[in-house]
Amino acid sequence: MLYPRESHSREVKDLSGIWRFKTDHEGRGLTDKWFMKALTDTMPMPVPASYNDITQDIGVRDFIGDVFYETSFHVSSHWQGKKVLLRFGSATHKAVVFVNGREAVRHQGGFLPFAADVSGLLEYGNDNRLTICVNNILDWSSIPPGELKKFNDDAHPGDYQVQETYFDFFNYAGLHRKVWLYAVPSKGIDDIRVETGYENGLGWLDYQISSSAESRVTVVLLDTDHRPVAEANGASGRLSIVDAEAWEPGHPYLYRFRVSTHTPGATDDVYTLPVGLRSIKVTSKQFLLNGKAFYFRGVGKHEDSDIRGRGYDAVTMVKDFNLLHWLGANSFRTAHYPYAEEVMNFADEQGIVIIDEVPAVGMHFFNPDQAVFTTNRVDDKTLANHIQSVKDLIARDRNHPCVVMWSLANEAATYEDASLPYFESVVRAARELDPQRPITLAHAPVKEECKVAHLFDVLCLNRYYSWYSDSGHLELVEMQALKSLDYWAKRWNKPLLISEFGADSIAGLHADPPVMFSEEYQVELIRAMLKALDACDHVIGEQVWNFADFATKQGITRIIGNRKGIFTRQRQPKMAAHFLRQRWQAMQDKEDGDER
């Protein structure tokens, strides 16, 4: 699943723009074959974007079911004879794709890319029609799970249904990421895998190239001045680099790994992958990056912004990274699903460390009496999709130096016995695909007891003292946090990362002494938590929930969304952002001083 990049052998056509769109209220579009001719009665819809917040129609925002997108594009005749891939950054959550009325590909899972070889479906030197049916329904087998609730009572009209989700973010849908046409040589590079290491000035890169069998492969590693620092022949091997530059926050040095395939007399294909040399090791109390203890300072994020919903937007992305640097943060977790590939590329360049999460969120009821890991809820079908999303995520992101850990789920009901065999299978799949990177899972505090913690290298804890429990009692935060940390440290003797803590605050609401929802309460709750974290030597990081206010489904605890952002949804700082900036900038200055 190589990210589309141009080279002398590869050409990319970005199909972003304004497409034609319609909702399929009766669910007849696929059976009535709407894709066979141009869609009628459409409205304009930007791609990439969620479709939900674009119109003034509540029926579009809250739509459940199939929607249709359509666009037209020209394919030049000089692409004839090449392999032309149609590649979607994502389609949330299910998609069926048609080119000129013929099915090209189907895909399930709303946060990862998929591609189809459409060479045989295109009209070269002519206009082509692309139709895609996208469906946003989640059920217990999907990742993330959900449930379509149908009502049959006096309080609801006939056939009334609601998409229930057990996660805390709005179920945005549509074409959230770029759609590309990608012309590559018919015989060339299919995939590149790298694993890197760094120790005391010595760097290495293990590589494996998949390409057409008869090709000869050459590789070269270029520094930032385009000078070759190592080269080799063959489809796999190790490059060693003396006086190497390591990749790490503050010094995100990226080499270019250029792979070429040749047949006698010709270079058929060239792909250049940015790579960073770095090593990771986990002990019982430390997370070592390039041999040095690394402390995660940062946030849990969302892909979420005004109007665009979950749609990829370069403006929002660059602003967010600027704000992370402004805070002195060095990391974030891609809560609760894989983010756009452009975000991962940018994190490599910007030196921000990422905990990369699969979309396994909402596998709980927050009620230990109601089983989750059971037939017809999270069962074998869910497991198969969960494993598939782990495989797809690792295939997509394994080459990124910014990705230092895989998060295999957020807040699953891991106090249930049945969660153990389930997670044993998920963990096995992750370890087989990537034996190098550590794995984690974010634990919810329903019960401290966790049946699966022993399977993981780092334990992430989401904790909301004096918010969801003992609401308003800030004086309890530090004591309760210390108790919990002490339990986890003694019980598992593994590094602990506090992956969520925080409080909702409405920007501009002030109260002293602090009360819930004021900016002061958010600061004081964070301050008290940090006291506890500073006192526990198993803690390897703090990631506040959340970077910015974000959209959720409606409910009595959500005031136009979740307000735990330290920035507003429009990316303006609340008091908590200034407070954390002071702490994190000081930590960064100390690290910089220690290095010098």
With respect to ligand GCB, which residue has the nearer C-beta, 312 or 464? Answer: 464
Beta bridge partners of 259: 219, 271
With respect to ligand GCB, which residue has the nearer C-beta, 241 or 551? Answer: 551
Question: CA angle, 220 as apex, 215 and 221 as ends, to 5°?
Answer: 145
Interaction between residue 462 and ligand GCB (CB under 6 A): yes
SS (H, E, C) 489-532: HHHHCCCEEEEECCCCECCCCCCCCCCCECHHHHHHHHHHHHHH
Taking the complex as a whole, the smallest distance from the CB of residue 468 to ligand GCB amounts, in Å, to 7
SS (H, E, C) 135-202: ECCCCCCCCCCEEEEECCCCCCCCCCEEEEECCCCCCCCECCCCEEEEEECCCCEEEEEEEEEEECCE
Question: Choosing from 195, 245, 248, 411, which is the catalytic residue?
Answer: 411
Size of the site for ligand GCB (CB under 6 A): 10
Q: Which of residues 120-159 bind ligand GCB (CB under 6 A)?
A: none
DSSP state of 44: E
Interaction between residue 505 and ligand GCB (CB under 6 A): no
> Distance between CA atoms of 285 and 306, rounded to whole angstroms?
40
Give whole-number Cα distances, 302 to 72, 194, 339, 548, in Å.
Answer: 32, 28, 8, 8
Taking CB under 6 A as the criterion, the residue among 170, 253, 337, 545 binding ligand GCB is 545
Taking CB under 6 A as the criterion, the residue among 411, 434, 524, 591 binding ligand GCB is 411
Using CB atoms, what's the residue nearest to ligand GCB? 168
Interaction between residue 564 and ligand GCB (CB under 6 A): yes
Interaction between residue 410 and ligand GCB (CB under 6 A): yes
Token reading at 310: 């979950």
171 contacts 165 by C-beta, under 8 angstroms: yes
**Residue 368 burial by CB count (10 A; 0-12/13-18/19+): exposed, middle or buried?**
middle
Taking the complex as a whole, the smallest distance from the CB of residue 202 to ligand GCB amounts, in Å, to 40
With respect to ligand GCB, which residue has the nearer C-beta, 253 or 406? Answer: 406
Taking CB under 6 A as the criterion, the residue among 142, 399, 562, 568 binding ligand GCB is 562
With respect to ligand GCB, which residue has the nearer C-beta, 276 or 541? Answer: 541
- Cis preceding-peptide flag for 144 (omega within 30 of 0): yes
Q: Is the dihedral of CA 299, 320, 393, 351 positive or negative?
A: negative
Taking the complex as a whole, the smallest distance from the CB of residue 385 to ligand GCB amounts, in Å, to 20
Give whole-number Cα distances, 438 to 25, 451, 459, in Å.
Answer: 45, 19, 11
Torsion (CA) 408, 410, 414, 419 in degrees, nearest 10 = -40
Q: Which of residues 249-278 bind ligand GCB (CB under 6 A)?
A: none
With respect to ligand GCB, which residue has the nearer C-beta, 245 or 411? Answer: 411
Token reading at 558: 């959500």
In the stretch 428-447, what mask flags binding to ligand GCB with x, by CB under 6 A?
Answer: ----------------x---
Interaction between residue 114 and ligand GCB (CB under 6 A): no
Interaction between residue 522 and ligand GCB (CB under 6 A): no
Token reading at 158: 């006939």
Which three-class secondary structure state does DSSP give residue 427? helix
Taking the complex as a whole, the smallest distance from the CB of residue 467 to ligand GCB amounts, in Å, to 8
221 contacts 229 by C-beta, under 8 angstroms: yes
Interaction between residue 500 and ligand GCB (CB under 6 A): yes
Taking CB under 6 A as the criterion, the residue among 70, 168, 268, 304 binding ligand GCB is 168
Residue 411 known to be catalytic: yes
121 contacts 7 by C-beta, under 8 angstroms: no
Residue 6 known to be catalytic: no
With respect to ligand GCB, which residue has the nearer C-beta, 132 or 444? Answer: 444
With respect to ligand GCB, which residue has the nearer C-beta, 48 or 502? Answer: 502
Taking the complex as a whole, the smallest distance from the CB of residue 363 to ligand GCB amounts, in Å, to 11
Taking the complex as a whole, the smallest distance from the CB of residue 444 to ligand GCB amounts, in Å, to 6
With respect to ligand GCB, which residue has the nearer C-beta, 336 or 569? Answer: 336
With respect to ligand GCB, which residue has the nearer C-beta, 10 or 563? Answer: 563
| Residue partners of 2: CB distance under 8 A and separation at least 6 | 189, 190, 191, 192, 271, 273
Taking the complex as a whole, the smallest distance from the CB of residue 500 to ligand GCB amounts, in Å, to 5
Which three-class secondary structure state does DSSP give residue 454? helix
Taking the complex as a whole, the smallest distance from the CB of residue 193 to ligand GCB amounts, in Å, to 31
Taking the complex as a whole, the smallest distance from the CB of residue 285 to ligand GCB amounts, in Å, to 25
63 contacts 26 by C-beta, under 8 angstroms: no
Question: Choosing from 70, 416, 500, 542, which is the catalytic residue?
Answer: 500
In the stretch 308-337, what mask flags binding to ligand GCB with x, by CB under 6 A?
Answer: ----------------------------x-
Which residues form the interface with ligand GCB (CB under 6 A)? Answer: 168, 336, 410-411, 444, 462, 500, 545, 562, 564
Which residues have a catalytic role annotated?
411, 500
